[in-house]
Chains A and B, each alone.
Chain A
Amino acid sequence: LSWKIVMTSSVLHTTGIPTRRPAVPRSLIGVGMLVPSLSFLLVFLVVPSLILLGYSVLTQSQSGDISLPLTLSSYQRLVFSPAYRRVVVITLRVAFLTSLFASLLAYPLAMVIAYGRPLVSRITMILVVLPLVVSVVVRTYGWQLLLGNSNSGVLNWVLHALGTGPAPVQVMYTEWAIVIASVHVFLPLMVLPLAASLGRINPYLNEAARMLGASAWRAFLRVTLPLSVPGLLAGLTIVFSLTAASYVTPQMVGGSRGLMLGVLLEQQINTSFDWPMAAAIATVMVAIALGATVGVEWFVGRRAAARRRRSGAR
C-alpha cells in the first residue's frame, strides 16, 4: 500500500501539481523516530543482559570480584550436581504440567467466548481477563489461603465439612501447589489466543460435519480441535515459557520441595552471593524460554510444509 502512495505522488510530480517536499529526507525522519526506543532497549536491556549472561562463564574470587579465567564450572554444577539438576527437572515438569492443565481448562472457556451468546461471551471474557490485571502476589496469596494444609485452608475446611476427616489434602508446599496456582496465573494467556483461533474457524465446517452425521464430540475432535491448533500452540508456548521463568508463585507456595529455577536464582544472589552461578541459571532460563518459542515455530513450519506437500501432490 505504501507503494501506492509512492506511485500516486510520482504521478502528481509528472503532472506538475505542486506537492510539499520535506526539508529532511523522509527515510531519516523514520530512523529518527526509531532511535529513542531502540537505543533505550540497547542500553538498558541488551547490554545488561549480555553482561549478565557473560558472567556465567567467568570466575568469582573470594573478595567477590568477577573476572577471567573463563570457566564452565557453573554450568557443570548445574548439570552434574544432583541437587541442581533436580531443580531443572522440577522446573520443566511444573511448566509442562501447567501448560497441559491450562489448555484443558481453557478450551471450554475459549469456546464460550468464541461461540457463546453475546452476553454470556462478554461476561466470560470479563471474568477471564480480570485476574490478568491483578498482581500475581495477590492471586498467589489467594491460593495460599485456599490450599492451606491445615483445616483452616479453604479446600480442607470444605472437605472436612463434607465429612472426610481431618485435613485430607496436603498439597501446599509441593509441586502440585505451584501447578495449580500457575494454571490460575497464566490461564488467561491460554484462553485469549485460543478464543482468537476458534473465532477464525469457518462456522460452516462444523455445521457440515454435524449435518453429515458426526456427533458434537466427534465434530469437535475432528474439525474444531485441529483447526484451533495455531491458538493452542501459541498459548502453550507462552504458558510454558512464563511458568518455567516464574518466581513469585513457586516462592510463595512451592516450599523447598517445589524449588524452581527462579527461586534458586534469587537464592544465589541474595544468600550465596554467587553471581556466576546465578548467571548460569539465568542463561538456562533464557534458553528454556527461547527453546519453547523456537521449538514450536519449527513444529508449525514443518506442519505447514507438510500440508503444502500434500496439497501439491493432489
Chain B
Amino acid sequence: MMAGRLSGSGGLFTHGLAMAGLVFILSPLVVVVALSFSEANIATFPPVGFTTSWYQGVVADDEFQQAFLTSAVLALAATVTSFVIGLPAAYALNRRRMPGARAIEAVLLSPFILPILITGLALLQFMAMLRMRDALTNLLIGHVLITLPYLVRTVTASLKQVDRSLEEAALTLGASPWRVFWRVTAPQITPGIAAGCLFAFMVSFDDFPISFWLSNAERMPLPIYLQNSMSKVFDPSIATMSSFAIATGILAVIGLEKLVGLRRAMSI
C-alpha cells in the first residue's frame, strides 16, 4: 500500500522533519498577522495586548484602498488579456500540426527563463524610447508578459488531459473543428483553465519586479506601496496591510483547491 511507505520509525522521522519545514514556512506569515493586532506603536516582537484599531485605520486609508484596487484591476486585466491571446496559441500548438511547434512553445514560455527584474527594466527602457508615458498601459503590458506563460502552460496541460477519442468521434461525425472545440473540448478544459487563470491573477497581484520599474506615484500596485511604506512607517499598520495580502493568498489557495485540487493546479 502507498500509505505504508511512510510507516515505522522512518516515517515518523520524515513526518517530524516535514513538520519542522511547515513551521519554517508558516512562521513569517504568523508573525506578521500576530503583530497586526498589537497595541504597541511600533511593530516589534512580542505583540502587546490585542486591538483591531490598525485594521479600522487601514481599511479607511485612501492610499491603501487605491493600491489594493490598482493591483486587483491590473491583475484582472492582465489575466483576461493573457487568456484572450494565450488560449488560441496553446490550442493551435496542441491541436494542429505546426512546423516548429516546439520552438514556438519555447518562445511562448520564454518569459519564465528571463529574470523578471530584467524583463521589467527592458520594457521600461523600450517604453521610454516610444514615449509611452501612461503608467497603467505600461504596467498592463508588463503584467501580461508574466501571466501569459502561465496561461499557455495551463491550457497546454489541460488539453493534454482531454480524451482525444471524443474529439475524433465528433470530427468523424461531421462536426466542424469550431463546434468540436466548444461542445467537446471546452467543457473538459474549463476547470483546469479557471485554476490557471486564478494562479496567473495571483502572479500579477503579487508582482514586485515588473511594477517596480513601470509604476509611478499615481499608479502604485499593492506590493510597491507596501515596500514604500515599510521604509517610512514603523507602526503595525504595515503588518495589517500585509495581513490583507496574506488573506488574499489564502482565498486564492482555497479557490485553487476547490476548482481542480491543488495537486492538479500545481501539476503534480
Contact = CB atoms under 8 A, between A and B. Distances in A.
Interface of A: 1-2, 4-5, 8-9, 12, 17-20, 22, 26-27, 29-31, 33-34, 36-38, 40-41, 44-49, 51-52, 55, 105-109, 111-113, 115-117, 120, 122, 124-131, 133-139, 141-143, 145-146, 148, 152-154, 157, 183-184, 187, 192, 195-196, 199, 203, 206-207, 215-217, 220, 241-242, 245-248, 252, 262, 265-266, 269, 275, 278, 282, 285-286, 289-290, 293
B interface residue count range (under 10 / 10 to 19 / 20 to 34 / 35 or more): 35 or more
A245 B85 contact: no
B237 to A, nearest CB: 12
Nearest to A245: B115
B42 to A, nearest CB: 8
A30 B257 CA distance: 33
Contacts of A134: 29, 206, 245-246, 249
B135 to A, nearest CB: 15
| Chain B interface main SS type | helix
B256 A129 contact: yes
Contacts of A133: 199, 202, 206, 248-249, 252-253
A146 B268 contact: no
Contacts of B171: 5, 8-9
Given A109-B18, A109-B22, A157-B45, A141 B242 contact: yes
B18 A139 contact: no
Contacts of B4: 207
Given A40-B85, A44-B145, A192-B268, A1 B45 contact: no
A216 B14 CA distance: 11
Nearest to B45: A154
B174 A20 contact: yes
B236 to A, nearest CB: 10
Interface stretch (B49-57, B94-102, B183-191): B94-102
A37 B85 contact: yes
A157 B46 contact: yes
Interface pairs A-B: 5 shortest CB-CB: A142-B28, A216-B10, A245-B115, A152-B44, A108-B17
A145 B43 contact: yes
A49 B245 contact: no
B26 interface: yes
29 contacts: A5-B168, A9-B172, A30-B92, A33-B91, A36-B89, A37-B88, A37-B148, A37-B152, A40-B148, A45-B114, A52-B122, A108-B15, A108-B20, A111-B18, A116-B6, A116-B18, A129-B253, A130-B29, A138-B246, A141-B230, A145-B44, A146-B27, A146-B28, A195-B268, A203-B2, A245-B115, A248-B227, A282-B115, A293-B113
B262 A33 contact: no
Contact of B253 (A46, A130, A199, A290): A130
Contacts of A269: 121
Contacts, number: 292
A264 to B, nearest CB: 11
Contact of B208 (A31, A137, A146): A137
Which of A44, A105, A265, A293 gathers most chain B CB within 10 Å? A44
A116 to B, nearest CB: 6
Contacts of B144: 40, 44
A51 B122 contact: yes
A196 B2 contact: no
Given A34-B89, A111-B14, A142 B122 contact: no
Contacts of B110: 41, 45-46
A257 B202 CA distance: 32
Interface in B80-120: 84-86, 88-89, 91-93, 95-98, 104, 107-108, 110-111, 113-119
B215 to A, nearest CB: 13
A117 B3 contact: yes
B69 to A, nearest CB: 16
B29 A131 contact: yes
Given A126-B253, A184-B25, A33 B92 contact: yes
Nearest to B10: A216
B180 to A, nearest CB: 10
Given A4-B168, A135-B245, A247-B212, A38 B107 contact: yes
Given A41-B148, A48-B123, A129-B253, A216 B96 contact: no
Contacts of A187: 21, 24-25
Contact of B104 (A38, A154, A183, A245): A38
